[in-house]
Copies of this chain bind each other. A is one copy, B any other.
Amino acid sequence: MKKTGISLLFIILSLSLFAQDVYQAERASWLEKAEQAKPALMETICKPLYLVRSVQDPDAFQGWRTEKSEEMDALYNISFKEKKEVIADFGKHITGYYSFFLKTTYRTQDAPLRIKFTFAEVPAELNTPFDPYPGTLSRAWLQDEIVTITQVDQEITIPRRLSFRYVKIELLGYSPDFDFRFADMTCKAVSSAQDIQVPLAATASEEIKEINRVSLETLKECMQTVYEDGPKRDMRLWIGDLYLESLANTYSFKNHDLTKRCLYLLAGLASTDGRLHANVFENPEPHPQYESHCLDYSLLYNVTLLEYLKATGDKETAEDLWPVVTNQVKEALGFVNDKYMFDPYKKEGFLWLFFDWRDGLDRNVAIQGLMVYALNSSYELAKMLGKEKEVKEWPEIAKKMAKAARSELYDSKQGVFVSGPDNQVSYLSQVWMILSGVASPAEGKKALNTVFWMPDAVYPGAPYAYHYLIEAMIKAGMNDQAKEYLVTYWGGMVKKGADTFWEVYDPNNEYLSPYNFFPVNSYCHAWSCTPVYFIQKYPEIFQQ
């Protein structure tokens, strides 16, 4: 049952119940504009290439690889009561709707069939028992579906949208009195990204070409009616993913309407007090994740809007959403103390800072840096909109925060920025000091080269953080090293067989999972898609 438009009214009323809604005047039109910019999904019918078998291999990613066993005809021409179990390989990562067609081959269907389908992004998902389930996220994200087929000789579609390359099919129930075979299977792949070629210089290495290709695939798969974080798991719009996806989109598919839609959607679903929600859902009606506020993500919204304006020149949207920009800055400034340092305890309540999936990461330096960066970006946006007088204090605050950071956080003896009560040294602290300009390029280079050789330095846990590391290295003039890192890290995934880039990748631990069960990790994740951005934006670094 589809809900009516009453829901929007309900959201607005609920949001307004206890406090004045700072976006009362704009909210409805923002959501309307988000709806208008909703892209049509392009549909492609995909078919499996061949059957594969799983091979246990200690050298393969997560211990498993597949190898071609037979042509599809070896399934389509044979009784599935004989075959009983197969794995079909679609040859690439796809997101969409899986259908199959069973055909009676002997006598008449006299009973339903029971068939289990397990859809997998990576081979180990096919070979790791899901139950008993040790993960911390819902077991239901795993893509195994048991289907009762009451009527063969017709197309059957599994209702949930799936994200996979492989499908394992197991026969669980059948009648002795008739026989059948698979006659066809397809996946109607969906994406709001059009197939394009992103040209590379002739000098680009094979590795870079592959990274560029996989990066495009990743972005394409995540581009649905919003920028999703992962098409297999989460399937929703997060600000952090939006930022990186929109950067990559600018250098590839150029589907700027999708960025616009997401910016408006987040604005329309912000809290009545002005704060953005870190993530929102589209169905059954657009709505935010309950009280999900992530300060670094909120600040990155402003940066995203700036980059969108630069890429499109769409001042109307930027002006429309200007109140959101000022409110995010206002919220963040509430945490700044007299010494112009970010103080997480200055306000009551829970403060969520993300920056990376890495247990134990101290985020004090990173947020100080991001605030400087976001203040400057937001001021740049103000100037482009002719609104700099409204916010004339921002550059000064940024400058004072930068100065404070330098005096409070820089360990000049070691040449690195240290974070928190234990003076933690992490890659990300250096990264954000570089991106904010607190550290000069030379200082940044030195800091990074120092932490790279410190065995206890906290290194990034996920591609999301590696993105900022590469960006910082480029800003610090470490072009060769930036390329090396990109090729080593993302190219490492390619070498391990990635069809799309993974949510989590630690070269030292292929089983790392923030959710205590690696098969529930997303193996096609938006925040990992940025190599195409680097490769295209900096051809002199990456394509030579």
Contact = CB atoms under 8 A, between A and B. Distances in A.
A146 interface: yes
Contacts of A311: none
A437 to B, nearest CB: 37
Interface string A256-286: 0000000000000000000000000101100
B160 A148 contact: yes
B174 A138 contact: yes
A359 to B, nearest CB: 18
B136 A114 contact: no
A290 B114 contact: no
Given A146-B146, A178-B290, A290-B178, A137 B151 contact: no
Interface in A171-198: 172-176, 178
A413 interface: no
A19 interface: no
A341 B232 CA distance: 70
Interface residues of A, number: 46
A110 interface: yes
Main SS class of interface, A = loop
Contacts of A36: none
A153 B281 CA distance: 14
Nearest to A145: B148
A183 B174 CA distance: 35
A283 B175 CA distance: 17
Nearest to A101: B1
A162 to B, nearest CB: 10
Interface string A421-449: 00000000000000000000000000000
Interface in A228-242: 234, 236
A17 interface: no
B108 A138 contact: no
A287 interface: yes
A156 to B, nearest CB: 9
A289 B108 contact: yes
A345 interface: no
Nearest to A135: B173
A155 B1 contact: yes
A191 B161 CA distance: 34
A266 to B, nearest CB: 15
Shortest Cβ-Cβ A-B pairs, 4 listed: A139-B173, A111-B138, A107-B290, A140-B173
16 contacts: A107-B289, A107-B291, A108-B289, A108-B290, A110-B236, A113-B138, A114-B138, A137-B176, A138-B175, A139-B172, A140-B149, A141-B173, A142-B173, A145-B148, A150-B160, A150-B161
Given A1-B154, A111-B141, 7 more contacts: A107-B290, A111-B138, A112-B141, A113-B138, A114-B138, A114-B139, A136-B176
